Amino acid sequence: MATIITRAGKGSPLENAEVDANFTNLNTDKLEKSGGTMTGDLTFGDNDKAIFGAGNDLEIYHDGSHTSIKENNAAGNLYLQANNAIALTNNARTENFAQFFENGESNLWYDGSKKLATTSTGIDVTGTVTADGLTVNTSNPEIEITNTAQRSYSFNVSGTSFYLKDKSDAQNIIKVDEGGDISFYEGTGTTPKFFWDASAESLGIGTSSPERDLHVKGKSGDPVHFKLEGDPADYARIMFDDGTTDNIGELRYNFGSDYMSFNTNSSERMRIDSSGNVGIGTSSPTERLTIAGNMEFSNQGSKIVFQAGNTSSNTIRAEDGDGYASAQIEFLGTGSSQSHAITFSTGSSPGSEVMPERMRIDSSGNVGIGISSPGANLDVFGLLSNPAEIRITNNGGTWDPEDEIGRYSFYTTDTSSTGARELASVRAINDNQASATVSMSGALAFYTSSYNSNVSERMRIDSSGNLLVGTTTAITQSGTTTGSRFSSTGIAWHIADNAPSLFLGRTSTDGTIIDFRKDGTTVGSIGTLSDSMYFGNAKSSAYANLRYTNDQVHPCTSAGADNDNTINLGKTSSRFKNLYLSGGVYLGGTGAANYLDDYEEGTFTPSFIGGTMSVSYAEQLGRYTKVGNLVHITVTIFTTDVTITAGGVLNISGLPFTPLATGNQETIALSIGRMRRWTVNRTCNTVAAVAVNNNSSLQLYATPTANINETYLQTTDLKTGAYSYGNGIDIAGTYITA
């Protein structure tokens, strides 16, 4: 092979002889443009390039430090092609860098160790993978990790959830949902037992449905445990942060002193020491419960439980600043004479341990004040020198009428639809009728209720001492307010609306129902005898006493017995005015002959009748007085004109009562005082009138002389024609009526 001298190789410009020698050498050992076979090396200096392609597409060169194969065609590719494999090794081919096998695996090596290999299912990495990111894009992507013991775990996405699974046991370990919920599964891989609810920002332990920020649910039959482990010389605590102070609240256990403390508002409020004593408001409790400050129970169902032996008792004790007892509550055990009782005692004097019992609640629930064996729900015991008193005080300002001062109420715990309510009460009422006053007047009002109704006032004792029933104002004798009033002076009023206002009764025996007294001595009474009522005068039976039996009112003794012929009705200086009777009067005796059943006075209109005639009258006056069945009449008649068409017996009609019927024509004669302007055509000594039995008219007759029988007057005996006062007649007499 010919040698070509280059400027670069020489280090200076070529001389002419050197150039000519180069051309000679080239012509002697050249490779044609059209191709040929190299028989020796082709050497390029540093940065001398072997350039391929019309556009300087590929360069191969060494820059003195590194060798480059450079692809300059942006539109093309650089291919390394082989029939079996492509290998990248070191210069001595003793260490592999990379291997690429046709239809097989591809391998990457590090320092002689294969670290990454492709397989028919993916890649196989030996060692640790460090990456800025990893994207696995498929419908159900999965990353599996297997250790040398062939224990496999996987990361995979199913639907919208991401899983960490134990591939070896086919169990879920962790699940992350699309919304951020995270489930940690128990040993079977079926049920999440540690759950983060992203939307509610809640954590559940033992439950997948946390109801609070942290919700711990224990296993069935097992308790729930929290464990805080710390240095024996230090403490463990749970702190509460309000966003400003990280320990605004704190629960702390001190391992060194074995006490537990509770803090609020960054200060200790309660402590349980190593002996089990509880201190509230103090860090040095000396008893099971030591409280520095007040104590209040306000919630329904609150309780304090004391437990002691059968023969001992429990005590709540209050002491003064010197340590002496000032008050105590003692709960007696079953061994005492008053088992299960509660006693209340107070100190008798400062600096003394003597505390007399003041009140007791026994096992039956009876309350005794001043007595240790109460016999009722409330038993208050007093002394002659210190009487028992129950007081209700109302510290009001100004008062209006009917303002309530206090009350005793009686309630029911009715469990029906009516419910608990007030059944009755006794109330103290201000009955001063002035408004906004500080001067009160006290009244007691009594309230009751019917079923399912509110209480209403039924009775009152007002500030004047009046007992009022059915009314809140005092009744007067001239008032119309209904109700009853009993005054402190002994006067009573009873007024009812459309009903009797007083009912009095007596059972079993006869006797007095109302006893009337004067200065303590009975002066009269109202009583009952044989189901009848009597009014009695207590002085003697000669006094006027009356008894009511059936349809009779009759005199009686002061005891109600019959009393005959001793009592007068009225007297000469004190008479009754009118007597109204619908029946008769027995006078002088009780037989039928003594019975007077009628007295009557009146008028009637007498008229002439008989035949056929027309009569006009100047006077028609009839008067009568009837006593019993005896009727006395007077008649006066005057005519002004008489016209007779047909004659007949002349009668006077219009008698007020029909004469007695005796079965024959017996008559009773009446006297005629006078007759004026008559025409009488017969000789007679007397004209008389008779009342005919069972007829309501009078007949007139004339008594002739010479022993001639009487004859009845006829209508023709009347003077006819017009006269101012003609045919006058006056009649007076008495007859007996039926």
- Measured distance CA(738)–CA(735) in Å, rounded: 10
Burial class (CB in 10 A: 0-12, 13-18, 19+), 431: buried
For residue 428, the one-letter residue type is A
HEC string for 592-639: HHHEECCEEEEEECCEEECCEEEEEEEEEEEEEEEECCEEEEEEEEEE
Residue ranges of the chain with per-residue pLDDT less than 50: 665-666, 681-685
| pLDDT for the residue numbered 621 | 97
Q: What share of the chain is helix, strand, coil (3-state, %, to 5)?
A: 5, 45, 55
Burial class (CB in 10 A: 0-12, 13-18, 19+), 251: middle
Q: Which residues contact 291 (CB under 8 A, 6 or more apart)?
A: 279, 280, 281, 282
| pLDDT for the residue numbered 674 | 80
| pLDDT for the residue numbered 663 | 55
Q: What's the angle, vertex CA 425, arms to CA 422 and CA 428, rounded to 5?
A: 135
- Measured distance CA(730)–CA(678) in Å, rounded: 13
CB 208 within 8 A of CB 220: no
- Measured distance CA(345)–CA(368) in Å, rounded: 12
Nearest to 652 by CA among 711, 718, 699: 699
- Measured distance CA(417)–CA(421) in Å, rounded: 11
| pLDDT for the residue numbered 72 | 81
Nearest to 633 by CA among 669, 595, 580: 669
Residue with tokens 């990457």: 108
Joined tokens for residue 489 = 């002076």
Residue with tokens 């044989």: 530
Give per-residue pLDDT as tens, 435-467. Answer: 878 788 889 999 999 887 889 999 999 989 999
| pLDDT for the residue numbered 668 | 64
| pLDDT for the residue numbered 684 | 44
Nearest to 139 by CA among 161, 157, 163: 157
- Measured distance CA(269)–CA(252) in Å, rounded: 12
| pLDDT for the residue numbered 415 | 65
Give per-residue pLDDT as tens, 331-364. Answer: 887 555 557 888 999 887 777 778 888 899 988 8
As a residue count, the chain comes to: 738
For the chain, the domains span 85-125, 131-219, 228-294, 314-380, 508-580, 599-736
| pLDDT for the residue numbered 447 | 94
3-state secondary structure of 18: helix
- Measured distance CA(251)–CA(269) in Å, rounded: 10
CB 426 within 8 A of CB 444: yes
